[in-house]
A and B are shown apart, each in its own frame.
Chain A
Amino acid sequence: GAVVSQHPSWVICKSGTSVKIECRSLDFQATTMFWYRQFPKQSLMLMATSNEGSKATYEQGVEKDKFLINHASLTLSTLTVTSAHPEDSSFYICSASTASGNLLVGNEQFFGPGTRLTVL
């Protein structure tokens, strides 16, 4: 259980085009989904947090107009990189969470396999 998928697994696009990445929770309903970006040899950096049916919350320094997040259902969130440029090339990872509110249980994040974006 607790499987998160991402599509596509990799994408190559020309500079100036837009790319959409899908994140799906396959066997559970995710109250919250997160989007991370990871550059080579670096740690994951949180980009934004999205809750179903509401606007995403972006971290400082992340352009909300460039990285559009839509969380249309409890099992699907999409990240659209608009007008992509070579510096947007990175590994994008989503995660899904089912916050239970139980201190002893906590709530772990279930991560997707990631999407490798290369902008030429």
Chain B
Amino acid sequence: LAKTTQPISMDSYEGQEVNITCSHNNIATNDYITWYQQFPSQGPRFIIQGYKTKVTNEVASLFIPADRKSSTLSLPRVSLSDTAVYYCLVGDWAGANNLFFGTGTRLTVIP
């Protein structure tokens, strides 16, 4: 079971780029990396998923180094509405390991 480690909390000013790094030293060959966002009293929302190198979508980018032992979620120009908890999950295609949430990173965007 690939365990993930993230910073407990981060603060950022509006308009800045925010990078949240997740460590997953025991990631397996078949594991992929998924990031979720959760607002209070809501279910997690899928942000981005990747296996290696870089993935970009309309809301974020995901950087994964060659050894895949870590990954970085990059949120460009954050706004107050990006204040949330961000979770990094690591698991295989069948989802067997993609079910265990770590502590997450509580991002607070400051005006």
Question: Residues of A at under 8 Å CB distance from B?
Answer: 4, 6, 32, 34, 36, 43-46, 49, 91, 93, 95, 97, 99-114, 116
- Closest 7 pairs between A and B when the two form their complex, measured CB to CB: A111-B43, A106-B32, A44-B101, A43-B101, A111-B44, A93-B43, A114-B43
Pairwise interchain contact B99-A49, C-beta atoms closer than 8 A? yes
Stretch of B13-21, B45-53, B64-72 on the interface side: B45-53
- Interface residue? B63 (CB, 8 A): no
- Shortest CB-to-CB span from A43 to chain B, Å, is 5
Pairwise interchain contact A34-B49, C-beta atoms closer than 8 A? no
Known contacts A44-B44, A106-B49, A111-B44: does B95 contact A97 (CB below 8 Å)?
yes
- Which residues of the partner chain A approach B104 to less than 8 Å between Cβ atoms? 43
B48 closest partner in A (C-beta):
A108
Task: Give the size range of B's interface with the partner.
Answer: 20 to 34
Known contacts A43-B104, A91-B41, A114-B41: does B95 contact A104 (CB below 8 Å)?
no
- Interface residue? B34 (CB, 8 A): yes
Q: B95 contacts which of A102, A107, A114 (Cβ < 8 Å)?
A: A107
Q: A103 contacts which of B30, B42, B100, B101 (Cβ < 8 Å)?
A: B30
- Apart from A107-B95, A111-B44, 6 more pairs, CB < 8 Å: A32-B95, A43-B103, A95-B43, A103-B30, A111-B36, A112-B43
Known contacts A103-B51, A107-B95: does B100 contact A46 (CB below 8 Å)?
yes
- Which residues of the partner chain A approach B95 to less than 8 Å between Cβ atoms? 32, 97, 99, 107, 109
B51 closest partner in A (C-beta):
A104
Q: How far is the CA of A93 from the CA of B32 in the complex (A)?
A: 23
- Interface residue? B59 (CB, 8 A): no
CB within 8 Å of A: which B5-60 residues: 30, 32, 34, 36, 41-46, 49, 51
